[in-house]
Structure 1
């Protein structure tokens, strides 16, 4: 508990913590962040905050018994709730009815710090967060009744939604060449109303299927994927042998940063080999959306139709 050697009001004029996200809710996926601002303003005549005092300004979790636990910083020691001063640009803050207040510039008397909180707590959990600051090694103040600066933020977790096929858009986004010979097709997979973000695990980045499984066959479709984001590099299964003459697409042509792009290289110069049948699919990846929730996406060649249709049509599975 705090140790008051002096009245904190003699040192501080303002000491508060406030929610600056539009919502006090967030998903308990350990990725989505909630934004909280901590502010102190010194009494007139007080010397500016030292670097150590500024560093000590952080969030604490109020336990059920009224004691405080410093909120761990993200990393190895982070448990259910964690804080960081770094905004993860891969994910959006939760939208809501609130408005984000502008952050005033620091002055000789006023100092503020923006912290971002994540959690892995299941839906329905709450966290009551206060701010702390250390005036010196023996004196710690909290934003509570005892200090005279009572303020706190309560964050609540919500259960991630369950996604199904109707939540996605799957369309051909680029095509070039002759479907009966050499072609390049791209398909993009988007999440309706919310963009996809970075992958969390690539289970199998690519696959291949020949027109016919015969030693003389050279017609095949070699599949890879470009992950959501600005990097359009196409990732393939490196164990697949495609020979020395075939050159696959290295960059996706489909514009935009919020979709997963599947790239189909229709080729006439990939020699069939029996071990290549082990890489006939599906190819799968785990990606996150802009709220940090995870999606498992699998892509397989069609199992019905002509030989050409079975290597040029894709079936998508969602989970």
Structure 2
């Protein structure tokens, strides 16, 4: 159902709502397109003094997107939908999208009359100050009038501010985006959307990870008990119990189950040989994540002596992993009707990113001896991939060119330098050419291209998500930070970003771009891998000449991710703070405005971004029904006019107009009184063009008539 925005000309949302925002609360605006992983978002409303948001009004607060005709449509809750949808409850089985670009909670400090810090504070996810329990000695809270007044104000502020949480999922094609707004109904005829308050979020769909065994899994063996016969040289154990633990590298399983109820895929058994006199066999079951109970194929005929010894529980906690229980015994008579129950066990598992793994766990027939065949395991794996139905393309039979191009360079193992702050990016292009059975070049569909991923050149394994964030698209924040070009070898540069990241593919081939952020401290050589229809194509075939030419679909081509530690830090003494009058076109009850401009005093670096969303961080009632309010603004190049709200006052303010400058304001206004008065300094993190952070305290002075830095 479409909900077109309706406005009363005599009404304005700013006269009702002091705050009307939509925010990403889970640390990343990205989500894998498996329909299970989620992005946590918060919709926030706070009425002005003397106003209220009723329960009925609050119930209409919903996330919406803009349709092609400009109307606003409520995001569906239907989980069978192919696009974007929401849940109202968090699914604790899944973690949020991994990101190296983390934002620490904002720090603040209550100030004494002389400007010294009294008590350290930290901002909660709900946007309120609380005492910082990690405060160092000397800053720990003690009972005093400043603190008591502050806590009383926070309690009153918290009572009026209301937050509604939603969890966003997607099955949309990788690389697509959605822009969401908040929507609320004041009454039957008045509907507001947060675009009026310049508040929106942009969310990104990422391709589901493709994992293969053994490169991307950990399989470990634990010997619980083992008793050899009188002739151990013949490797003829009488009885043994082994536990094999299986999990993806870098992430846990959240749940697992048998793929079907068919008996041949649930549990398995293998005898030493298939003779009627053979009693030596290996009986296998599985314990799924979070349960120590072992699940077996209960249709097997095991005789009368073995069942009392059958292990019912594994030895240890198995949170996050599948444990295969392998039990060898010498008193399980051969039963020919169970010959077809030698496996594999077929299991469907979900990891904590929501990726579905289809696993076939079987006895390892590649071993030499009969005993080794029944006492070792191997795994076949396949991960779910979102099928792109939007683009049709002819099926290919061969990959003839597969090349990794760091910074769009043909140089093998091209160095891609970036600071390991988790914010700055570098890029790697992958160029691929496919042919059909007539040896004609064909175009791969987006669905197949989305299966290509970057891996470790030395091992062929997936990259650690805690060390690397790899995406197919750039967010608006990503685009703020400059790329260190290939021409720079040993030091940072102040060159502008490279604008053309499209690699030149081989004739008839295709190119895709990966954006990489890192927190790693050592170099990593990066290759590419494509898994399609059970076949793995890759670029880490080191016995092939470097370049993109392939042998059986594999090539020898890589790029080098070369992290740099931040080797410079700017403090308050390295910043320039200036103040100008910005009192043009004042709204009702606004007396005057000072605009503060903050920049780094350096020809090499400039402010490009800051970590925290715009907010009024304090105000000071100065008698005569007047107050000074202080606000900081996010340096992000996206908002050039911000509307500042406080009490019944609202004032558009021009910010982010000058490259390299961050802004704050002091607003003097008529006020109803000291509602929520506090005297607080805030610790801002300003990032330069390479994503490196520099900390500066913004402090009130002279009854908040001035802003100082320290």
Which residue is 1:134 aligned to? 185
Instruction: Give, in angstroms, the shift of residue 271 of structure 1.
Output: 2.7
Measured after TM superposition, the shift of residue 120 of structure 1 is: 0.6
Cα shift readout 1:84-143 (whole Å, capped 9, x = no counterpart)? 121111111012213376323784421001211010112101011111122233332211
Summarize deviations over 1:128-160 as a string: whole Å, max 9, x none.
Answer: 111112223333221113xxx121111111112
The question of 1:296 aligning with 2:354 is answered no
The equivalent position to 2:331 in structure 1, one of 261, 269, 275, is 269
Distance (Å, rounded) in 2 between the aligned partners of 1:8 and 1:278 = 70
Deviations 1:268-297 (CA, angstroms, capped at 9, x unpaired):
333322111111111121212221112222
Counterpart contact for 1:20–1:100, Cα < 8 Å: no
TM, length-normalised to structure 2 = 0.42
Shift of 1:37: 0.9
Say whether the 8 Å CA contact 1:187–1:261 is kept in structure 2: yes
Worse-matched range after superposition: 101-110 or 88-97: 101-110
Give the secondary-structure state (helix, strand or coil) at the position aligned to 2:26.
coil
In the superposition, relative to structure 1, how do residues 66 and 249 fare at CA in structure 2: closer, same or farther (>3 Å)? farther
Which consecutive residues of structure 1, in runs of 5 or more, have no partner in the other structure?
Answer: none
Among 4, 17, 23, which residue is 2:7 paired with? 4
Rounded to whole Å, the distance in 2 between the matches of 1:88 and 1:264 is 33
SS in 1 for 2:282: strand
Confirm or deny that 1:187 pairs with 2:229.
no
Q: Give the root-mean-square deviation of aligned CA atoms.
A: 2.2
- Partner residue of 1:202? 259
- Equivalent residue for 2:84, pick from 81, 85, 89: 81
In the other structure, the counterpart of 1:283 is 345
CA contact (8 A) 1:129 1:153 kept: yes
Report what 1:23 is aligned to.
28
Asked if the contact 1:35/1:117 (under 8 Å) is kept, the reply is yes
**Partner in structure 2 of residue 155 of structure 1:** 203
For residues 1-319 of structure 1, what are the structure 2 equivalents within 5 Å?
1-5=4-8, 6-50=11-55, 52-75=56-79, 78-96=81-99, 97-99=101-103, 102-104=124-126, 107-145=158-196, 149-164=197-212, 165-178=214-227, 180-199=237-256, 202-203=259-260, 204-228=265-289, 230-245=290-305, 246-247=307-308, 248-303=310-365, 304-319=367-382
Contact 1:188 / 1:254 at 8 angstroms: preserved in 2?
Answer: no
Distance (whole Å) between structure 1 residues aligned to residue 314 and residue 343 of structure 2: 20
Q: CA offset at residue 244 of structure 1? A: 4.7
CA apart distance, 1:317: 1.8
Does the CA-based 8 Å contact 2:35-2:79 persist in structure 1? no
Alpha-carbon distance in 2 for matches of 1:48, 1:35 = 23
Distance 2:191 2:206 in 1: 33
CA distance in 1, matches of 2:192, 2:257: 40
- Measure the CA separation in 1 of the matches of 2:304 and 2:166: 52
**Runs of at least 5 residues in structure 2 that lack an aligned partner in the other structure:** 106-123, 129-156, 229-236, 383-710
Aligned residues: 313
Q: Distance in 2 between matches of 1:122 and 1:239?
A: 43
Using the TM superposition, give the Cα deviation of residue 26 of structure 1 relative to its aligned residue in structure 2, in angstroms.
1.1
Cα distance 1:49–1:196, how it changes in 2: closer, same or farther (>3 A)? Answer: same
Q: Given the superposition, is the C-alpha separation of residues 242 and 67 from structure 1 closer, same or farther in structure 2, using an over 3 Å criterion?
A: farther
2:85 aligned counterpart, secondary structure: strand
Q: Do the aligned partners of residues 198 and 213 (structure 1) sit closer, same or farther apart at CA in structure 2, a change above 3 Å counting? A: same
Q: Deviations over 1:16-52 (max 9, x none)?
A: 10111222111100111111111000111123421x3
Greater relative CO (CA pairs within 8 A, separation 6+):
1
